[in-house]
Chains A and B, each alone.
Chain A
Amino acid sequence: MKCTSKCKTIRILSLCDEQLIRLSRKNVLSLSLEEMKVIQSYFKKLKRDPTDIEIETIAQTWSEHCKHKTLTGIIEYTEEESGKKTKKTYNNLLKETVFKASVELNKPWCLSVFKDNAGIIEFDSENGVAFKVETHNHPSALEPYGGSATGIGGVIRDILGVGLGAKPLANTDVFCFGDPDMEVSKVPEGVHHPKRIMRGVVSGVRDYGNRMGIPTVNGAICFDDGYMSNPLVYCGTMGIIPKNKIDKKVESGDLVLVVGGKTGRDGIHGATFSSIQLDKESDVSAVQIGNPIIEKKVLDTMLKARDLNLYRAVTDCGAGGLSSAIGELGEKTGAVVYLDKVPLKYDGLCPWEIWISEAQERMVFAVPPKNIDKVIEIFEEEDVEAVCIGEFTDDKKLTLVYDNDVIASMDMEFLHNGVPKPTRRAFYKVKKEKVQKPVKMNSFEISNSLISLLADLNVCSKEWIVRQYDHEVQGQTVIKPLQGCNIEVSGPGDAAVIFPYTVIKDTKKCIVLSNGLNPQYGKKNPYKMAASAIEESLRNAVAVGADIRKMAILDNFCWGSPNDLEVLGSLVRATKACYDMSKAFEVPFISGKDSLHNEYSINEKKYSIPPVLLISAIGVIENVENTVTMPFKKGGNKVFVLGVTRNELGGSVFSKVKNIEDGVVPGVYPRESKDMMEKIYSAISENLIEACHDCSEGGIAVAVSEMAFSANKGVKIDIDAIKIYSCLEEEFRSDNSEMTPAEILFSESNGRFIIEIKPDNEEKFKKILDGSVFSEIGYIRDDKKVIFESRKNNIRVQQSSEFLLNSWRNTINW
């Protein structure tokens, strides 16, 4: 071990605890004392101090971002309900909840689950579809444009780096922002204004996604002041991969080929920085700089090399840069890397910076020596830089060389499995939810509420964003994010459908993507939030024609600091819901990611985000012809509501608009719900459904209005015909409290769909639905009047569909 001026020795052998902590902090290592001590004793055994590059390598590999230490660590959980405490210890929370459900479900069509850069399910006998969703929160808070652009760039590379590489077909994006109309004086020091963040993030996704030629087809936005200092940016990519390209295996003697972008000083410490709370001093140099055209060239060329079977493995350079990519690929073999061979953007980088830089658009390949010339030729034909920087060995060691000096030499075993398991404590107190005081409103008040709900940030049209994304490139987006009966009008689609006809010739199958998220529920009940997100994602997909028996889901947890007992407690509750729902719906998780430490500190005070679980769903639909959109189709057709309406206004948009504190958060009843979803699939397969829309934020009133104004039609709804919980005493116990018309119209009960049926199909439709709760609630009118009526309560609300459309459209129209 020789140290040049470019590589320093870090003296840790003699440091005391306090000094170790100081070292970790000073160098942005994000390592705990316990971890520092394990490192110290490892080097004591080697009888030498580590070099800077060795310490940095360990910090990257052991980072929360790469290792998910909290979710896979030990958690001592205490739950308190009605004064009674129960305790449980999780040795690996993820394995005992989310992952466990997938193992138990053991679906044969799940081709790769929780092990590669993305989850893969079967598309047809020869192909699979891969799906991954990532977060890029911290960078987007500091530099919204660059942060979100590299967020989408990064998740696209996950798809390029799954198996031997998948071809990306679609992107998704989900954001949580503060209120874009927030008064400037209320924005904390050091934080960008929410509107600036939103504009920057949208532009970043637009410019990167559009240039990559991948349509951004599905997403959601949640606005809440809790995200003012910590915006959340989720980016997802779905791709298609031949089944025989799913496995990768590095062999000793394979060469390490780095392909694509050059390495610079951007994105140093991205992986470790993501585990630190933000404050006004946070360093923008941790944010990477993106160039989509380089990535596009890598995509064009690598698939050519893949199809010629020229390499044995590939992975992307994401968090931790080369250090993580090569460390992962070489885990079982060992690797030697010559860092002076890495192509650089400019001179002056220290070896450790080259090694952990998160410069974008780079992929690492394991190439058998006999193929190396051919592979490099394929890349160079299209001006893509490809340089051999080392080789995979058989000594199970990581060896780094710079200018002929060995500057790092560590055991792969220590690097990958040496991290001590932290033990954390978590606490959750189950709070009693109580029904709000009856919401009594006259026709005029209901009408006004409907208008304010449609215009509310969390319901209103996101057209301003959706249209900036090329959501139709590749020509395969057959169910689009905005749907209308003609070009002039639009409504919010429930899910997107991609028909991959340019990749898979003569196929009839297609892929559905959807999502579910509702942090408002999480503020009151994290279990119900998680359950609702899962159900909503499935409901959205089923509404366009998906078969839930061919669906899988992804989890993305964004939480505050796991050092806080109650924050971690709510996370445990949410993972419980994940297990329960995944099992009950028989829908497996195939991939996931967590982003913890989403908090900001001002003047010693910490602000944590409202925790949120995003569920992204993917499914394969047998026949693209059997898909449905949400606008009403024809005057005279009948409107049905499927599912039970309960008095569930807790966390609803209505409660927020009306400042109602109490209310029961919508629960999930998986047995009924799953059964209903399967029946809807049957009905859609038999072409019995003209239009279908998921009932969620804003309840029946909003869902029906959207179906009407996106069709430029009217509708008449009989509120008294809607089946509510208390009407069904025989099936459901006790609670007999009636609901008011406003409660019925705006309750956000899960498990409900609004459906349009031709009178001729009614009989067949009812036969399929036999045994489930549903009711005919009205009919479609050609006169463009949207009417909600309750004779029992003397209520009649009437608006023109055009006015409703404009109310919905005009909130975000910059």
Chain B
Amino acid sequence: MKKVKVLVLRTAGTNCDYETQSAFELCGATVERVHINTLIEKKDKIFEYDILAFPGGFSYGDDIASGKILSNEIKNKLGDEVKKYALSGRPIIGICNGFQVLVKVGLLPSPELFKQISTLSYNDSDKFECRWVYLKVEKKIKNESNCIWTRNLPDIVSLPVAHGEGKFIPGNEKFLDELNKNNQIVLRYSLRDGSEPEYPLAPNGSVEQIAGICNGKGNIFGLMPHPERYVFTLQHPAKEGFDSKYGWGKVIFKNAVDFV
């Protein structure tokens, strides 16, 4: 069987590329961390890969706003290729800074529109914070959403967040309704029992506690929490996982590798 190939796109300030690579490798994929300069030189190279990942970090220092410079660079220099890749249905994931990039490039919520509708803004606490949170993967949404990435997750899962700009603002009511209607809001911050959280378990003040969304087709997934930091039970604060060795974050990467 052919090995699944993953492209982890990095640039100046990317810093979650190694653990994202490890997470995919743990699921049996072959992973290359590629600098954006290299990709710009050979744009078609992108189609050699089955999965595209935008890892976390501070691309270009998050100067201007988080992910802003990188998303402009992608739009201007790789726009056609990235859009074509997204519409081909291949899995794309953006984690933390990568989510900010997906939203600012316009791959989320809709690669068909390919323009920025939503944003991720400064946390209500007005500071960077790193902590574990609970996330609700509502059964109904899980069953009805097309999201290929969130299959097989439990109703409540915990993951770490680490960001200063994670407050999801959908744009306007209409877009929010559409996201809800299409079951695109796949992860929401919650309490352990699934009820509405307050700060700090609502870490950033996101509209409707939105932590992660996918596109309508379900191949593109962006989220603020870091599943790549929870592939082993060892990484969990209380050493919990879906079995004695692996953490729930691994399931997310496995879903995409299995999908391919």
Q: Which of B21, B57, B235 contacts A213 (CB 8 A)?
A: B57
Give the docked Cα–Cα distance between A475 and B21 (Å). 11
Chain B 121-150 residues near chain A, CB threshold 8 A: 127-134
Given contacts A212-B15, A213-B16, A381-B38, contact A487 B237 (CB under 8 A): yes
Answer yes or no: B183 CB below 8 A from chain A CBs.
no
Answer yes or no: A472 CB below 8 A from chain B CBs.
yes
Name the B residues within 8 Å of A471 (CB-CB): 130
Instruction: Name the distance in Å between A462's Cβ and chain B's nearest Cβ.
Output: 13
Name the A residues within 8 Å of B62 (CB-CB): 211
Answer yes or no: B226 CB below 8 A from chain A CBs.
yes
Give the docked Cα–Cα distance between A296 and B128 (Å). 19
Q: Which of B22, B158, B229, B234 contacts A472 (CB 8 A)?
A: B229
B129 (CB) vs chain A CBs: closest residue: A467
Name the B residues within 8 Å of A625 (CB-CB): 234
Q: Which of A292, A469, A501, A624 contacts B61 (CB 8 A)?
A: A292
Answer yes or no: B175 CB below 8 A from chain A CBs.
no
Give the docked Cα–Cα distance between A228 and B231 (Å). 44
A488 and B238: CB pair below 8 A? Answer: no
On chain A, the number of residues with a Cβ less than 8 Å from chain B's Cβ atoms is: 40
Give the docked Cα–Cα distance between A75 and B130 (Å). 48
Answer yes or no: A185 CB below 8 A from chain B CBs.
no
Name the B residues within 8 Å of A296 (CB-CB): 12-13, 15
Answer yes or no: B162 CB below 8 A from chain A CBs.
yes
Given contacts A470-B128, A480-B237, A486-B238, contact A293 B22 (CB under 8 A): no
- A-B pairs with CB below 8 Å: how many? 107
Name the B residues within 8 Å of A467 (CB-CB): 129-131
A502 and B21: CB pair below 8 A? Answer: yes
Q: Which of B57, B128, B134, B231 contacts A475 (CB 8 A)?
A: B231
B238 and A293: CB pair below 8 A? Answer: no
Name the A residues within 8 Å of B162 (CB-CB): 210, 470, 472-473
A381 and B37: CB pair below 8 A? Answer: yes
Given contacts A475-B229, A502-B21, contact A486 B15 (CB under 8 A): no
Give the docked Cα–Cα distance between A200 and B204 (Å). 22
A475 and B19: CB pair below 8 A? Answer: yes
Give the docked Cα–Cα distance between A291 and B130 (Å). 22
Instruction: Name the distance in Å between A174's Cβ and chain B's nearest Cβ.
Output: 19
Name the A residues within 8 Å of B58 (CB-CB): 210-211, 213, 292-293
Name the A residues within 8 Å of B57 (CB-CB): 213
Instruction: Name the distance in Å between A624's Cβ and chain B's nearest Cβ.
Output: 6
A477 (CB) vs chain B CBs: closest residue: B235
Name the B residues within 8 Å of A486 (CB-CB): 192, 237-238
A293 and B12: CB pair below 8 A? Answer: yes
Instruction: Name the distance in Å between B117's Cβ and chain A's nearest Cβ.
Output: 28
Name the A residues within 8 Å of B130 (CB-CB): 466-472
B16 and A468: CB pair below 8 A? Answer: no
Give the docked Cα–Cα distance between A144 and B56 (Å). 28
Name the B residues within 8 Å of A484 (CB-CB): 237-238
Give the docked Cα–Cα distance between A472 and B234 (Å). 12
Q: Which of A381, A468, A470 contacts B127 (CB 8 A)?
A: A468
Instruction: Name the distance in Å between A399's Cβ and chain B's nearest Cβ.
Output: 36
Answer yes or no: B259 CB below 8 A from chain A CBs.
no
B237 and A502: CB pair below 8 A? Answer: no
Interface string of B90-117 (1 = CB under 8 A from A): 0000000000000000000000000000
Instruction: Name the distance in Å between B53's Cβ and chain A's nearest Cβ.
Output: 14
Chain A 285-333 residues near chain B, CB threshold 8 A: 291-293, 296-297, 300
Give the docked Cα–Cα distance between A475 and B38 (Å). 26
A215 (CB) vs chain B CBs: closest residue: B130
B133 and A487: CB pair below 8 A? Answer: yes
B13 and A293: CB pair below 8 A? Answer: yes
Q: Which of A210, A382, A470, A488 contacts B35 (CB 8 A)?
A: A382
Give the docked Cα–Cα distance between A471 and B130 (Å). 7
Answer yes or no: B47 CB below 8 A from chain A CBs.
no
Give the docked Cα–Cα distance between A293 and B57 (Å). 11
B201 and A488: CB pair below 8 A? Answer: yes
Name the B residues within 8 Å of A483 (CB-CB): 237
Q: Which of B18, B128, B133, B230 contacts A474 (CB 8 A)?
A: B18
Given contacts A381-B38, A478-B235, contact A473 B15 (CB under 8 A): yes
Q: Which of A383, A468, A487, A624 contacts B201 (CB 8 A)?
A: A487
Further pairs besides A206-B128, A475-B231: 6, Cβ < 8 Å = A211-B13, A213-B15, A466-B130, A467-B129, A472-B226, A486-B238
Chain B positions within 8 Å of A, measured between CB atoms, are 10, 12-16, 18-19, 21-22, 35, 37-38, 56-58, 60-62, 127-134, 158, 160, 162, 192, 201, 226, 228-232, 234-235, 237-238
Chain A positions within 8 Å of B, measured between CB atoms, are 206, 210-213, 291-293, 296-297, 300, 381-383, 466-478, 480, 483-488, 499, 501-503, 624-625
What would 14 A/B residue contacts be, using CB atoms closer than 8 Å?
A: A210-B128, A213-B58, A293-B12, A300-B12, A382-B37, A383-B12, A383-B37, A468-B127, A471-B130, A475-B228, A483-B237, A487-B133, A488-B192, A488-B201
* 7 closest residue pairs by CB, A with B: A213-B15, A475-B19, A475-B229, A293-B61, A502-B18, A470-B162, A487-B132
